[in-house]
């Protein structure tokens, strides 16, 4: 299969990537008690490109209902999200809630690895980025890198599995630094990936760091992603729950109830906004 062309909006003659370097205030919102950014996948790619070209270290995180539950219980999670320069909205229902509460979100898209993967790998191929992946079971990274290089020949990839002892974190960070990545993906699932990034941030090289969950499991064919149309309908969670009810029942059916308090706070914000209008 021929490799796709770089995304038109991200080609070499594109204007300077300023959109996410200078956040527009009305597109950073507080929802369910947490700050997040209403961004499109293209804008995330512009941000990554700008940070790579500046050789600057930056974190791009993402929020969904599970992360909103976890940040209230983990100081390391809270610190990671405070550090992130972009917090993507990884949830179609959250975008719908943003429209209801803030009157914002109509023109925005859920942002996850699966939403921008085509753009990212096309750009990484065109720009010659060095991309390192940390996570997955033994053998998954190698299978994913082989599959990616079939689709996008010439990618500069490195990686290792995510099964290591807490005491080996320093050695893992040194291994990553030796590779000199432009982009670092950490795919160990929430909250392990976020807390690992936070603990090791200072030891990591200047690169763009993204927690990406099971990204390489999908590339290696170990997991099957939900159909994209389910994501657009906000039902991807149901696909996952049906496939793995034992592991995900609490996440999807119990944890959201803890957000009733923040949701009531959002309703007050909505009432104030409507009153001011």
State the pTM of this model. 0.87
The ranges of the chain with pLDDT < 50 are 1-9, 11-21
| pLDDT single digits (tens) 181-213 | 999 999 999 999 999 999 999 999 999 999 999
Neighbours of 148 (CB within 10 A): 21
Alpha helices, DSSP H, located in the chain: 41-54, 65-70, 75-83, 92-102, 113-127, 140-151, 169-179, 192-200, 215-220, 228-233, 236-243, 245-253, 260-276
Q: What 3-state class would DSSP assign to 77? A: helix
Q: What is the phi/psi pair of residue 182, to 5°?
A: -85, -35
The domain segmentation of the chain, as residue ranges, is: 8-276
| pLDDT single digits (tens) 27-44 | 889 999 999 998 889 999
Rounded CA-CA distance 49/72 in Å is 32
**CA-based torsion, 148, 150, 156, 161: positive or negative:** positive
Q: pLDDT > 70: what percent of the chain?
A: 84
Q: What 3-state class would DSSP assign to 272? A: helix
């Amino acid at each position: 299969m021929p490799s796709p062309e770089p995304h038109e909006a991200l080609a070499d003659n594109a204007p300077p990537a300023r959109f996410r370097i200078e956040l527009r205030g009305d597109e950073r919102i507080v929802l369910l008690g947490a700050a997040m950014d209403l961004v499109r996948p293209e804008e995330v790619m512009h941000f990554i490109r700008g940070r790579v070209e500046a050789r600057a270290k930056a974190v791009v995180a993402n929020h969904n209902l599970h992360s909103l539950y976890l940040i209230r219980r983990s100081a390391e999670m809270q610190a990671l999200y405070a550090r992130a320069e972009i917090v993507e909205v990884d949830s179609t229902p959250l975008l719908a809630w943003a429209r209801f509460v803030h009157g914002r979100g109509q023109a925005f898209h859920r942002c996850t690895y699966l939403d921008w993967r085509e753009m990212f790998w096309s750009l990484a191929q065109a720009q010659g980025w060095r991309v390192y992946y940390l996570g997955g079971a033994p053998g998954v990274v190698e299978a994913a890198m082989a599959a990616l290089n079939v689709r996008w020949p010439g990618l500069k990839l490195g990686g290792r599995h995510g099964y290591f002892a807490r005491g080996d974190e320093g050695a893992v960070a040194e291994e990553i630094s030796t590779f000199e990545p432009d982009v670092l993906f950490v795919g160990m699932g929430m909250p392990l990936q976020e807390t690992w990034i936070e603990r090791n941030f200072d030891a990591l090289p200047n690169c763009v760091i993204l927690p990406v969950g099971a990204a390489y499991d999908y590339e290696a064919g170990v997991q099957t992603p939900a159909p994209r149309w389910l994501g657009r309908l906000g039902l991807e969670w149901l696909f996952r729950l049906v496939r793995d009810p034992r592991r995900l029942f609490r996440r999807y059916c119990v944890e959201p109830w803890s957000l009733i308090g923040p949701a009531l706070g959002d309703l007050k914000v909505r009432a104030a906004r409507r009153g001011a209008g």
